[in-house]
Structure 1
Amino acid sequence: MRYELADFEWAALKPMLLNKPRGVPRVNDRRALNGIFWVLRSGAPWRDLPEALGPYTTCYNRFVRWRRAGVWSRIMNALAAAHDAAVQMIDTSIVRVHQHGACITRNQRQSMGRSRGGLTSKTHALVDSNGLPVRLALSPGEAHDNLLSRLKSGSMLLADRGYDALIRELAMKKGAWANIPPKSNRNTPICFSSYLYRARNKFERFFNQIKQCRRVATRYDKLAVNYLAFVQLASIRLWLRIYESAP
């Protein structure tokens, strides 16, 4: 069936799932993961899950249970631990919120914003020089502080001019160089390399890759934590493929 885990992907993920030392052994984690990744890639509602992947309630409940237990975050952090810290890039991507995800009161609490086209959700990401995700977050604005918590001294941070005043000072405090094009209204000159800035296109490639997953390209989830979990899962699969292709 399409979107199923390859053997090497399952071998990497299996040790990082929750253990169940007591009671009846949990049935077929791999089938549940295949169901979760099928929903991620296809964008279909949970109720439309094929019978071969098990009851949709089992897959959904396990998706939420593992998210609450921090499984997706731990896997993401473990895979991204070997990232290239010399050059990192930060930016955001805006996705449309589907009407099924917008039916909730106080949308501000769920990282949604209103624009001319309707409700949208903003995803912040920090990627390395290979375009691989290191940290992920949703709005509001304090997400930048969380993303840059692992920025190392001596590294270079690439971002567009919208971040000129927002994170330049934060990067300097960490001993990093923020290679950000200056805004037109900036009075004091800064050091900026347009040649090095070209590498930032890898950030766009990262979002183009994970947006092949329809649950990422359009937000169907009412809860921000569930949508972020799908973004993490798409990033996890990207990391797994890179590890497999490495010599």
Structure 2
Amino acid sequence: MADRLEISAEDWNVIYPILVKHRHVRSTSEEQCRAFLVAVLQILRSGSQWRLLPEAHGKWNSVFKRFSRWSKHGVWQSLFAGCIHHPDLQSVFIDSTINRAHPCAGGAAGSNAEDEALGRSKGGFTTRIHAITDALGNPLEFLLTGGQASDIGQAETLPALTPAGARAFVGDKGYDSDAFVQAIVARDMKAVIPPRCNRNKVRECDWFIYKERHLIECFFNKIRHYRRIFSRSEKTARNYMAFLHFVSALIWLR
């Protein structure tokens, strides 16, 4: 378990050059910067409260404020983007997963549940992660909504987030919509989406490509090993997304 709470030297050699290029990263030493990321990884992996951060990692409030500041200035997003190398765009997969939100995730000052991607679904107080991965199941982009939001409700946004050069856009029946398919085709991609059973005009689906869609489910399984993702405690969508970007960067590195 100890290895999962550390950042290897190999990973750090990739992470640190990305961080120091960001103008909002102020670090007095490389060792302190690495210690900070290990502290964040401790919270991310264990799912514990910030107040319960072991003293060996420093003052919990200082670590939290720095994490939140990096989130505000897009440092975690830049780290994630910097770790993406040569994605396989033979096809891209799209899907969503619902994660439970702890009661403490509610009540963000000066905001509301909708703005912070919190909602009510059959699972209770939840957040839905909409994800796009490459052909190998590596993450490329995310959106957050309340748990009650539908998959097709993001149809206008998701194709625009897809990297240029993708050849096939793969999703399940939840994305079967004429307008969505047309939006995909308009971006010179092949729509690989099974038709709903109640369609008047049945579309064809390339089942050979579609059978690889399980790779995005494998990605969701990977991020669920990080309990701060699996059970949301962050009041703001920005901080929750920061954790998601950090996890995704580690997945690209490993």
Same fold (TM > 0.5): yes
Q: Is the counterpart of residue 64 in structure 1 residue 68 in structure 2?
A: yes
Q: Structure 1, residues 62-108: CA drift from partner, whole Å, max 9, x if none?
A: 21111122111112122224211111000000001111112446311
Conserved? CA contact 1:151–1:174, under 8 Å: no
Conserved? CA contact 1:137–1:147, under 8 Å: no
Out of 215, 219, 222, the position equivalent to 1:206 is 219
Q: Distance in 2 between matches of 1:106 and 1:191?
A: 42
Q: Distance in 1 between matches of 2:186 and 2:22?
A: 44
Out of 162, 176, 197, the position equivalent to 2:189 is 176
Secondary structure of the equivalent of 1:107?
coil
Conserved? CA contact 1:126–1:147, under 8 Å: no
Partner of 1:131: 137
Conserved? CA contact 1:16–1:71, under 8 Å: no
Q: Distance in 2 between matches of 1:143 and 1:16?
A: 32
Q: Distance in 2 between matches of 1:20 and 1:89?
A: 30
CA drift at 1:206: 0.3
Q: Unpaired runs of 5+ in structure 2? A: none
Q: Unpaired runs of 5+ in structure 1? A: 242-247
Q: Is the counterpart of residue 220 in structure 1 residue 233 in structure 2?
A: yes
Q: Distance in 1 between matches of 2:78 and 2:60?
A: 24
Q: Which range moved further: 12-21 or 198-207? A: 12-21
Q: Structure 1, residues 91-132: CA drift from partner, whole Å, max 9, x if none?
A: 000001111112446311111121233211000110011110
Superposition RMSD in Å: 2.2
Q: Which range moved further: 75-84 or 168-177? A: 75-84
Q: Which range moved further: 110-119 or 120-129? A: 110-119
Matches within 5 A, 1:18-29: 18=20, 26-27=28-29, 28-29=32-33
Partner of 2:209: 196
Number of equivalent positions: 239
Partner of 1:73: 77
Q: Distance in 2 between matches of 1:194 and 1:19?
A: 44
Q: Distance in 2 between matches of 1:61 and 1:146?
A: 31
Conserved? CA contact 2:168–2:192, under 8 Å: yes
Matches within 5 A, 1:1-247: 1-2=2-3, 3-18=5-20, 26-27=28-29, 28-104=32-108, 106-139=112-145, 141-142=153-154, 145-146=157-158, 148-152=160-164, 155-165=167-177, 167-241=180-254
CA spacing shift, 1:154–1:237, aligned 2, 3 Å: closer
CA drift at 1:152: 3.3
CA spacing shift, 1:62–1:227, aligned 2, 3 Å: same
Secondary structure of the equivalent of 2:7?
coil
Conserved? CA contact 1:172–1:178, under 8 Å: yes
Conserved? CA contact 2:171–2:193, under 8 Å: yes
Conserved? CA contact 2:159–2:184, under 8 Å: no
